A and B are shown apart, each in its own frame.
Chain A
Amino acid sequence: MSDPQDDDVALKLLHTADWHLGRRFPQFPDDVALELMRARMSVIDAILGAAAHNEVDAVLCAGDLFDAPQPDEEWWRPLADKLSRHAKAERPVVLLPGNHDPLTPGSVYHPDHPFVHALGEHVHVVDRDDFTLALSPEATLYARPCRSRAEGLDLAMALPEREEGDTSIRIGMVHGSTFDMPEFQTNFPIAKDAAVKRGFDYLAIGDTHAYRVYDPPESPTVYPGAPEPTTFGERDVGHVALVFFGRRRRRPLIRPERVARFVWEERVIEDLPALRRLRDEDLRRTVLRLVLRLRVSPAERDEVDEILQALSGTSSRHGQAAVLQVDGSGLQLDASDLGDALEGLPQVLTETAERLRAQAAEPGEEGELAQRALYHLYRLVRSG
């Protein structure tokens, strides 16, 4: 593929979607969840920065920019500010309502909503079914909004088809599920050949969080994916799509560009050295989930806690990892050996430990309780 910069570019677009501003992360502690929510907002600067850097002609935002149709002002207001801050009259930004933030009465995209009023003139909201926008003298955008959270209507097929003799660059933009997605039938399905049938040179879509490009190359259908991951296990996420149309050929060049702040990563730790090695890694931009599957003595448990605290941070110190989530259900404590912790202490404490140790050998929850009790004793003795 030749460098798009070398071509005589007729049209440059930045295609993004699925920002999910305001998404909550209930599976995380409140402070961590807040950090992840903020990250979704901060990635907007990276997106608009990429648009400026690449001098695109338009920014196409293909739906699900908000996680809900009526987000709090703390989410729409900063977005309006950012769009204003990066405003450039010749670079329109088009906002498309998706299935998470459909165009409904009272929704954030409704003409009466203060968000719409706060947007600059270069920002266009797709708030009608026959939306069109001239992106350049030879390029036109056709878009149609989602008007509900679920629907069986193929919005791409609902767009106008190319008229005979029309040679302009036709860009389509809708939000929905392609034919290969589960349950696509009810989630604004997009037919496999919709782009071809409707005569689009590029069909910009949004919904799934992974970057995907569907053939044919001369009439591609593209998911840019979410610019910031939303959960563990997502692949090809954290990008926007940069689209270049040359003057000499109609087949667009598409290039994913990474904008995400965080990497979400899950690691399974099965021994203490592996956990120790984490301290040497740069995890500042990693949302890390540690699945602990190891058996430790009380002293080792202390070390585990110490490392986890170093990774997660304290109220006075940032952690090594951007965000840490620990699945400790596989962390087994073997407190039968308290080492020399009880040396020099009253006999009654040794007797207590002996009794708990005998119970700790029992299977099931009884043994588990005794292990924990032993560890409590160990911590109390050590803390003194």
Chain B
Amino acid sequence: MRLLSIGVRSFGCIEEAKLELRPGLNVLYGPNDLGKSTLVHAIRAALLLPTSRREAERFRPWHRDVTPEVTLAFEAPDEPGSDRPPRIWRVRKSFGAGRKGSAELHWSNDGEHFSVEQKGDGVDDKLRTMLGWGVPGARARGPRGFPSSFLTTVLLGPQAVPGSMLGNSLDDDPTDSGRERLTEALQALAQDPRFKEILDEAQRKVDEAFTPTGKPRKGKASPLSPIKQRIRELSEELRLQQERVHDSDDVRQQLLALDLERIEAVAARDDAEKQWQRQQALFERGRQRAEALAQVQEAREALERGQAVLADRRTWQEAVERHMQGRPAADGALLRAGEVEQAAAQTFAEAEAHLRAIEQGGDAEAKLERQQLETRRLQLKAEHAQVHERLRLAEEALEKRAEVETVAEARDALAQDLAASERAATDAEAVRREADAEQRLYDAALRLRRYEEAEQRVAHAQEAEAEANRSVEEAEKLEAQAQAIDEAVAAEALPEPSEIDGWRALAEERRIAQARLEVGLSVVVHGTPPAQVQARADDGAEAVAEPGQAIEAQRRLSLAMGPDLRIEIEGGDASARATRDALEQRWVDEVAPVLVRVEVEDLAGLRARMDSARQRQAEARQLRDKAVSTRQLAEARRERAVELPALREALQASQNALAGLDRALLQERTGDYDETELRRRQAHAQARVDEARHTHAQAKSRSARLESQKAAQTERHDRLAAELATVLARLPGSPVSERDTAFDRLAALEGEIETVDAELAEHDEARARRRSEAEAAVNEAQTQVDQARLATSLARRELDERKEALAQAEGRHAQLESQAAQIDEAALKRELEERQAALSERPEPQETVSAESLAEGERAWQQQQQALREIEAALEQQRGALKQVGGAVAREEAERTREALEATKQAEHDLELDYEAWRLLAQTLREAETAEGRHLGEALGEPVHERFAQLTGERYGALSLGRDLQAGGLEVAGELRDVKALSEGVQDQLATILRLAVAEQLGSALVLDDHLVQTDPARIAWFRELLVDVGQRAQILVLTCRPEDYLGADERPAEGEASRDSDAVRAVSLASVIRRAGST
């Protein structure tokens, strides 16, 4: 992950800031309190903090209600450790609860065209997955506070106690993603070569068959591809072959079925044919016998006809005689029947006259009696209605009177309730007034307290203002002191450290050149010199050279004899001397004046003077830093003082609120109560007021309700009383006596009506009985008339029939007489006998066959014949089809293909299992490796140790890092010492080296905020080199108030520039890119 740019708006003390970052080392510098750490917070919040978390509250600007915003662009792969090219991401967050908070994540391949990846809650989930820093999903339950893990602390750690992260452990991470990421990154560094070899081989096999996301490879990329292709081919081949087999089976089955049908059809046809032939024979025999039988029958019928004519002739002759004898008796019977009929008609007329008399009402007495009874009944009914109405009125009056009494009672009860409710309202109002007064008392007491507090705040603000002024003065003094120191140092005009190094080299060269001249010299004065010989060896003092005495020197001898003669002897060749002279000249030109100016004797002195100057400069820096912090303090106090006018206004407002109050009395009554008690009592009083108001309102409401009910009852009572008076006016007496009298009269009337009804019924019953008897007499007479008429009719018909029968018998007899004369009975009998003999020669067949049966038999035979032809045609068709299909050949082929397919599928399954086993092996190797995990510490410990040893001149042994990367201790003099025992500066240095190592392995951005503050310049210089080196593999953001620690003068942006890039570093002046809140 590499940061590309960050934009901040209204975030903490930063009003607005924008800056671009580059790969490698980025040094962001600026004075204290500019907002450097806020910038780091913004980066952390953009990457880790959900927008609605409470922790975001601290980023809200102090004096404005605005939403903090951060936009961070960075480069990262989709998944941690992925080999795919990284994409450019841009996360934008606005922090705040509810709708104020928002988050969006966009991605781009070119940094120009972005697409939305996630919005809202999904942004943090995606970021955390992408980073793989051991932070759980945004929606997962976890500890409160800023999301934290080992890697978030290492890579984005906020300012903290130097080296405190050495106590952090991967085991404390909420999820394993950070450990997995580190494990993956450190594999190459840490794995045993043999293990790595095995893991690589297993992974290679896995990669053959699976994609990086674990899905089986498809298409040609899969090692299963050939076998799958083979399976597809075989399956297709088998499908086609099975279709052929199926077709073949179909044809075969149909052939077999048709063959069977054909056999059955042939049998059926043969049967039908035989049956038909048999029927034909039987039919013929039957026909011949029937013919003979018909002839016999014909002869018999002729004989029978002749004999019948003769018999008929005799019968009809007897009938003529019988009819002639019965004629007189029939005539007498007709005469007697006529007489009986006349007598019956007379009886019927008499009965009918009697019935008509009864139907016309009977006698006058009976009619009068019935009319009287009916009149009496009507009178009784009328009286009954009148009495019943009187009874109803009396009962209604009684009911109304009871109702009036009930309503009156209810009205009185409501009046009592109404009075009670009014009393309750009055009581509640009294309570409310009392509590209200109490509440106002405590309210006033609290206003008094606010006034006192406001007084205190004003005093504090005034005090802060004074302190701010004092701090400014102090800061000015400190700055003056620093200025004085700087000026003093500048006045010394000390050389640059680089010049000292050159001069050291010159001194060394000078020393060497001098040494080359030290060849050893020896002089002996022989004889007696004219004057005393003074000799000086090298830089020694002059001494008298006695004759014969050897004077020894290393490089130079000086001999003087008198004031005029001096011999200088110098060792070494000319070039060595020339070199020495040149170096001496350079020394004299370059160094000696400086030494003289600085008033030191040598370079060591100069060095000491420069060290002293640097120390004083450091003091001056500290003084300036102190001045800056003092000014910041002053600024902060002044900010508090800025509120003074507002506070004074608040004080005045409080004072106004107390106007008219007797403060002494108030103090007396509430002085013993503290704020909490006052508020409690105020709340209690308020509660009582509320309760009393509520009670009063309830009572008033009830009164109104009762009043309304009472009015309704009164109105009802009046209405009922009026109705009662109306009813009573219609009653002559009291309702009770009227009711009783009417009741008794009604009972008597109902008894009389019943008696009259009974008499009427009895009268009607007697009349009906008489009418019924008359009707029966009429019916009887009618019956007798009808019988007499029928008897007359029968007698007349009998006579007519006898006359007609006689005429017919005479006619028929004459006709038969004529036919009988033509009949020869004997000849007819002979003919019959002959034909019976012919019939006996043709016996009756066992079965009778009709012409229909015979035709049916022929049709059946023809149908069977046709069915057979159809089956044979179908058979022929299937035989033709059989030639087109595979038959046994197709089955054999399909069987071979099926075997091949099964074998290939088994091989595929085997191969799949093999690759799954490879995957399981690779996965298990990694799990075991993660579980073992010691190498994480070992892997990271080694480079950390190397660098730390380099930094400290191998003063310390190896750093012991646990499997969870927690620092176990540092080896010192053969013993493991707790790193906390080291100085804070060394802890900070060790932690920085460790953090750099992690960032380097992950290739990730690392933020160092105000680190190494207690590190000496030499080590700072070493760290700068390290940062540049690590910057080739990871991005590093150094935020510092001491740019000189990391940047040469030529690497810093010029006046008016925000940033400057050099080969190794980008320098950003934060003062140019951050606009603080409140600044202009």
Q: Mark A338-371, 1 if CB is under 8 A from B, else 0.
A: 0000000111110110011001000001001111
Bound-state Cα–Cα, A7 to B466, Å: 149
Residues of A within 8 A of B234 (CB): 26
Decide if B918 is an interface residue (CB 8 Å cutoff): yes
Residues of B within 8 A of A381 (CB): 198
Nearest chain A CB to B256 CB, angstrom units: 6
Residues of A within 8 A of B899 (CB): 26-27
Nearest chain B CB to A305 CB, angstrom units: 14
CB nearest neighbor in B for A372 = B917
Decide if B921 touches A356 in the complex (CB within 8 Å).
Answer: yes
Other-chain residue from A147, A207, A347, A368 in contact with B883 (beta carbon distance below 8 A):
A147
Decide if B888 touches A348 in the complex (CB within 8 Å).
Answer: no
Residues of A within 8 A of B378 (CB): none
Decide if A149 is an interface residue (CB 8 Å cutoff): yes
Decide if A377 touches B921 in the complex (CB within 8 Å).
Answer: yes
Other-chain residue from B889, B906, B921 in contact with A376 (beta carbon distance below 8 A):
B921
Decide if B652 is an interface residue (CB 8 Å cutoff): no
Decide if B202 is an interface residue (CB 8 Å cutoff): yes
Q: Mark A317-332, 1 if CB is under 8 A from B, else 0.
A: 0000000000011000
Residues of B within 8 A of A216 (CB): none
Nearest chain B CB to A367 CB, angstrom units: 11
Other-chain residue from B259, B906, B914, B921 in contact with A329 (beta carbon distance below 8 A):
B906
Nearest chain A CB to B895 CB, angstrom units: 9
* Interface stretch (choices A110-118, A179-187, A221-229): A179-187
Decide if B920 touches A187 in the complex (CB within 8 Å).
Answer: no
Other-chain residue from B197, B887, B929 in contact with A149 (beta carbon distance below 8 A):
B887
Residues of A within 8 A of B888 (CB): 99, 150, 177, 183, 186-187, 207
Nearest chain B CB to A306 CB, angstrom units: 19
Bound-state Cα–Cα, A77 to B507, Å: 103
Chain B, interface SS category: helix
Residues of A within 8 A of B887 (CB): 99, 149-151, 183, 186-187
A99-B889, A150-B248, A349-B198 known; A185+B256 contact, CB < 8 A: yes
Decide if B931 is an interface residue (CB 8 Å cutoff): yes
Decide if A132 is an interface residue (CB 8 Å cutoff): no
Decide if A185 touches B255 in the complex (CB within 8 Å).
Answer: yes
CB nearest neighbor in A for B230 = A26
Decide if B251 touches A348 in the complex (CB within 8 Å).
Answer: no
Decide if B879 is an interface residue (CB 8 Å cutoff): yes
Q: Mark B322-336, 1 if CB is under 8 A from A, else 0.
A: 000000000000000
Decide if A274 is an interface residue (CB 8 Å cutoff): no
Residues of B within 8 A of A328 (CB): 910
Bound-state Cα–Cα, A369 to B884, Å: 49
Decide if B925 is an interface residue (CB 8 Å cutoff): yes
Nearest chain A CB to B198 CB, angstrom units: 5
Residues of B within 8 A of A151 (CB): 879, 882-883, 887
Decide if A37 is an interface residue (CB 8 Å cutoff): no
A-B contact count (CB 8 A): 133
Residues of A within 8 A of B259 (CB): 185
Determine which residue in B198, B202, B890, B910 has the highest number of CB atoms from chain A within 10 A of its CB, and name it.
B198
Bound-state Cα–Cα, A25 to B884, Å: 25
Decide if B913 is an interface residue (CB 8 Å cutoff): yes
Decide if B566 is an interface residue (CB 8 Å cutoff): no
Decide if B890 touches A377 in the complex (CB within 8 Å).
Answer: no
Q: Mark B919-943, 1 if CB is under 8 A from A, else 0.
A: 0110011011101100000000000
Other-chain residue from B197, B256, B884, B896 in contact with A384 (beta carbon distance below 8 A):
B197
Decide if A170 is an interface residue (CB 8 Å cutoff): no
Bound-state Cα–Cα, A153 to B882, Å: 10
Decide if B932 touches A152 in the complex (CB within 8 Å).
Answer: no
CB nearest neighbor in A for B244 = A149
Decide if A373 touches B924 in the complex (CB within 8 Å).
Answer: yes
CB nearest neighbor in A for B192 = A346
Decide if A100 is an interface residue (CB 8 Å cutoff): yes
Residues of B within 8 A of A356 (CB): 920-921, 924
Decide if B929 touches A348 in the complex (CB within 8 Å).
Answer: yes
A346-B192, A348-B195 known; A152+B882 contact, CB < 8 A: yes
A148-B883, A150-B887, A384-B198 known; A376+B918 contact, CB < 8 A: yes
Residues of B within 8 A of A177 (CB): 888
Residues of A within 8 A of B927 (CB): 352, 355
Decide if A1 is an interface residue (CB 8 Å cutoff): no
Decide if A373 touches B918 in the complex (CB within 8 Å).
Answer: yes
Nearest chain B CB to A183 CB, angstrom units: 6
Residues of B within 8 A of A345 (CB): 194-195
Residues of A6-38 at the interface with B, using a CB-CB cut-off of 8 Å, are: 24-27
A148-B882, A153-B879, A369-B916 known; A351+B198 contact, CB < 8 A: no
Decide if A369 touches B913 in the complex (CB within 8 Å).
Answer: yes
Decide if A380 is an interface residue (CB 8 Å cutoff): yes
Decide if A150 touches B886 in the complex (CB within 8 Å).
Answer: yes
Nearest chain B CB to A116 CB, angstrom units: 22
Bound-state Cα–Cα, A259 to B921, Å: 52
Residues of B within 8 A of A149 (CB): 883, 885-887, 889-890
Determine which residue in A328, A371, A380 has the highest number of CB atoms from chain B within 10 A of its CB, and name it.
A380
Determine which residue in B205, B259, B887 has the highest number of CB atoms from chain A within 10 A of its CB, and name it.
B887
Decide if B505 is an interface residue (CB 8 Å cutoff): no
Decide if B920 touches A348 in the complex (CB within 8 Å).
Answer: no
Other-chain residue from B886, B897, B925 in contact with A352 (beta carbon distance below 8 A):
B925
Decide if B202 touches A27 in the complex (CB within 8 Å).
Answer: no
Bound-state Cα–Cα, A60 to B884, Å: 27
Bound-state Cα–Cα, A152 to B877, Å: 12
Decide if B903 is an interface residue (CB 8 Å cutoff): yes
Bound-state Cα–Cα, A245 to B475, Å: 139
Nearest chain B CB to A25 CB, angstrom units: 8
Q: Mark B259-283, 1 if CB is under 8 A from A, else 0.
A: 1000000000000000000000000
Decide if B913 touches A368 in the complex (CB within 8 Å).
Answer: yes
Decide if B931 touches A346 in the complex (CB within 8 Å).
Answer: no
CB nearest neighbor in B for A104 = B883
CB nearest neighbor in A for B195 = A346
Bound-state Cα–Cα, A261 to B925, Å: 51
CB nearest neighbor in A for B900 = A26
Residues of B865-909 at the interface with A, using a CB-CB cut-off of 8 Å, are: 879, 882-891, 896-897, 899-900, 903, 906
Other-chain residue from A152, A373, A376, A377 in contact with B255 (beta carbon distance below 8 A):
A152
- Having A26-B234, A27-B903, A177-B888, one finds 11 other A-B pairs with CB under 8 Å, namely A26-B896, A27-B899, A150-B888, A152-B255, A185-B252, A349-B195, A349-B925, A351-B931, A373-B917, A373-B920, A376-B917
Contacts A/B (CB < 8 Å), 30 sampled:
A26-B899, A27-B896, A27-B899, A99-B887, A148-B883, A149-B883, A149-B887, A150-B252, A150-B882, A150-B887, A153-B879, A183-B891, A185-B256, A186-B882, A187-B887, A231-B896, A348-B192, A348-B929, A349-B195, A349-B198, A352-B921, A352-B927, A356-B920, A359-B920, A370-B920, A373-B918, A373-B920, A375-B917, A376-B205, A376-B921
Binding site for B on A (CB under 8 A): 24-27, 99-100, 147-153, 177, 183, 185-187, 207, 231, 328-329, 345-349, 351-352, 355-356, 359, 365, 368-373, 375-377, 380-381, 384
Binding site for A on B (CB under 8 A): 192, 194-195, 197-198, 201-202, 205, 234, 248, 251-252, 255-256, 259, 879, 882-891, 896-897, 899-900, 903, 906, 910, 913-914, 916-918, 920-921, 924-925, 927-929, 931-932
- Please name the 5 residue pairs, one residue from A and one from B, whose CB atoms are nearest each other, closest first: A150-B887, A372-B917, A148-B883, A26-B900, A351-B928
